[in-house]
């Protein structure tokens, strides 16, 4: 990583950025007292129109880190004409909605108009919105390409291009889509790349799309993990559901995000837990957009206690004050563990992440421990101790890690084709 540079953390408040009063008013209305690390470092660079490559986890305030300076640069340019000048690409609809809401929130006192397009819903209202005129567009790659194909949107005046969660975009196989979208964009523009990791693929991508980028890398890699209390319970695979319902019920947790590796498991678990008396709903890539939104709303409103999600479906979900995450199954990609537990302990809150680990998942726990550089001590909950006389199917016929990943690829949401990062490979 030759062009990596660490920026010193300065003491700053939002007023130190010389942001317009209209934005400061929105920041105040959002109850943000001081900028987060990623904001402190990225906002001045983006205001100065640099290309930026920033490593930041979801939950660190990265959306405001690019949204605020983009909005400020609109205000400074003082052009009254409504022209689409900013494009933000996100890997999932949920993240697109989240980013859209943030732009609307931070720009609520300005006349800057943000639009959003994503798949899974009719194009009609999206086309109408585009026709009516917008300044900023948040888009998922597939739907944007559809709209480019029908000439419903033009990107020839784009001045700022943002890749949000670029690593996830590549993992989800959007490389070709990105290349095709790039052909519609002007050569000269400011490009901002936000990614949770700086894996090799991201460096390759950055070389192609960024010009003399400023690198922002705060030492937040394991930040989510630091703020979250992590508990690991060893338990037999066939008793995990019972234990999950028991934990939620006995501790009276009101809002728990439960992660599974596959869609099938998410569906089954939601059904069974509801039968156990813990009202649950599943959210994954096979659900329609309407069903996903309904599930999220019911969860946010407290109508269901457990949201059972796959990794891809959970990206971009921002649930204020979420305090409990349960890893019903450990992820095949250790970095997904950090994303998962980072759903809680957002913006300075604390959280609890419980992982239920059966004997056949111990190699996954080891990979997570290596990534975190921490030993996660396994505990046994009385009444749920693993039965040493029980031999799991996978212990009888151990499957290779490669096969396990292949299984995950065929069963899970559209997940990364390269399951481990360069860092975990190096270990």
Residues that bind ligand AMP (CB under 6 A): 32, 35-36, 39, 58-64, 318, 320, 346-347
Gap between the Cα atoms of 262 and 312, Å rounded: 10
Which residue, 59 or 412, has its beta carbon nearer to ligand AMP? 59
- For 114-241, strand residue ranges (E) read 114-117, 136-139, 160-163, 190-195, 214-217, 228-234
CB atoms within 10 A of CB 5: 9
Which residue, 320 or 426, has its beta carbon nearer to ligand AMP? 320
Which residue, 139 or 247, has its beta carbon nearer to ligand AMP? 139
Q: CA angle 195-52-78, nearest 5°? A: 120
Which residue, 283 or 356, has its beta carbon nearer to ligand AMP? 283
Q: Which two tokens stand for residue 164?
A: 């949000």
Q: Are the CB atoms for 304 and 279 separated by under 8 Å? A: yes
Q: Taking the CA atoms of the chain, what radius of gyration do you get in angstroms?
A: 22
Q: How far is the CB of 69 from ligand AMP (least distance, A)?
A: 13
Beta bridge partners of 87: 137, 161
Q: How far is the CB of 56 from ligand AMP (least distance, A)?
A: 7
Which residue, 26 or 354, has its beta carbon nearer to ligand AMP? 26
Q: How far is the CB of 122 from ligand AMP (least distance, A)?
A: 27
Strands 228-234 and 306-309, sheet pairing: unpaired
Beta bridge partners of 257: 307, 325
Gap between the Cα atoms of 44 and 21, Å rounded: 17
Which residue, 58 or 310, has its beta carbon nearer to ligand AMP? 58
Gap between the Cα atoms of 292 and 404, Å rounded: 28
In which element (H, E) is residue 245 found? helix 240-250
Q: How far is the CB of 348 from ligand AMP (least distance, A)?
A: 7
Which residue, 170 or 224, has its beta carbon nearer to ligand AMP? 224
Q: How far is the CB of 304 from ligand AMP (least distance, A)?
A: 21
The residues near 300 (Cβ < 8 Å, ≥ 6 apart) are 319
Q: How far is the CB of 273 from ligand AMP (least distance, A)?
A: 27
Gap between the Cα atoms of 220 and 291, Å rounded: 34
Q: Which two tokens stand for residue 161?
A: 């291009």
Cα end-to-end span (Å), the chain: 17
In which element (H, E) is residue 313 found? helix 311-314
Gap between the Cα atoms of 354 and 328, Å rounded: 8
Q: How far is the CB of 36 from ligand AMP (least distance, A)?
A: 5
Q: Are the CB atoms for 149 and 181 separated by under 8 Å? A: no
Q: How far is the CB of 27 from ligand AMP (least distance, A)?
A: 8
Which residue, 28 or 254, has its beta carbon nearer to ligand AMP? 28
Q: How far is the CB of 63 from ligand AMP (least distance, A)?
A: 3
- Burial class from Cβ neighbours inside 10 Å (0-12, 13-18, 19+) for residue 23 reads buried
Which residue, 13 or 125, has its beta carbon nearer to ligand AMP? 13
Gap between the Cα atoms of 142 and 127, Å rounded: 15
Within 159-199, residue ranges assigned H as helices are 166-171, 175-182
What is the DSSP-derived secondary structure letter of residue 321? Answer: T
Q: How far is the CB of 420 from ligand AMP (least distance, A)?
A: 25
Q: How far is the CB of 60 from ligand AMP (least distance, A)?
A: 5
Which residue, 32 or 246, has its beta carbon nearer to ligand AMP? 32
Which residue, 99 or 356, has its beta carbon nearer to ligand AMP? 99
């Amino acid at each position: 990583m030759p062009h990596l540079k660490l920026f010193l953390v300065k003491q700053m408040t939002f007023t130190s950025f010389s942001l317009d009063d209209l934005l400061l008013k929105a920041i105040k209305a959002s109850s943000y007292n001081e900028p987060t690390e990623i904001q402190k470092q990225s906002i001045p660079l983006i205001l100065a129109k640099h290309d930026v490559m920033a490593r930041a986890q979801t939950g660190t305030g990265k959306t405001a880190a690019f949204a605020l300076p983009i909005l400020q640069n609109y205000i400074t340019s003082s052009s009254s004409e409504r022209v689409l000048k900013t494009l933000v690409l996100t890997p999932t609809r949920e993240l697109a909605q989240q980013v859209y809401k943030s732009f609307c929130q931070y720009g609520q006192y300005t006349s800057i108009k943000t639009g959003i397009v994503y798949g899974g819903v009719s194009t009609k209202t999206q086309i109408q919105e585009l026709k009516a005129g917008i300044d900023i567009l948040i888009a998922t790659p597939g739907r944007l390409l559809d709209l480019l194909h029908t000439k419903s949107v033009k990107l020839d005046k784009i001045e700022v291009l943002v890749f949000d969660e670029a690593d996830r975009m590549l993992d989800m196989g959007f490389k070709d889509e990105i290349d095709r979208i790039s052909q519609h964009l002007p050569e000269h523009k400011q490009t901002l790349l936000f990614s949770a990791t700086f894996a090799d693929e991201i460096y390759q991508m950055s070389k192609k799309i960024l010009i003399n980028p400023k690198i922002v890398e705060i030492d937040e890699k394991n930040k989510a993990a630091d703020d979250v209390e992590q508990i690991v319970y060893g338990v037999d695979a066939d008793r995990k559901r019972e234990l999950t319902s028991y934990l939620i019920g006995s501790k009276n947790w009101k809002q728990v995000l439960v992660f599974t590796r596959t869609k099938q498991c998410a569906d089954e678990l939601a059904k069974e837990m509801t039968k156990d008396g813990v009202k649950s709903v599943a959210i994954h890539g096979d659900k329609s957009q309407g069903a996903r939104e309904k599930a999220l709303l019911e969860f946010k409103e407290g109508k269901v206690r457990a949201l059972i999600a796959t990794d891809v479906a959970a990206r971009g979900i921002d649930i204020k004050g979420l305090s409990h995450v349960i890893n019903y199954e450990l992820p095949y990609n250790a970095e997904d563990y950090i994303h998962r537990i980072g759903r809680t302990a957002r913006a300075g809150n604390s959280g609890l992440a419980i992982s239920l680990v059966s004997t056949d998942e111990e190699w996954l726990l080891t990979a997570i421990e290596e990534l975190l550089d921490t030993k996660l001590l396994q505990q046994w909950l009385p009444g749920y101790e693993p039965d040493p006389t029980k031999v799991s199917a996978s212990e009888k016929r151990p499957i290779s890690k490669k096969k396990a990943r292949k299984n995950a690829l065929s069963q899970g949401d559209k997940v990364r084709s390269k399951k481990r990062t360069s860092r975990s490979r190096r270990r």
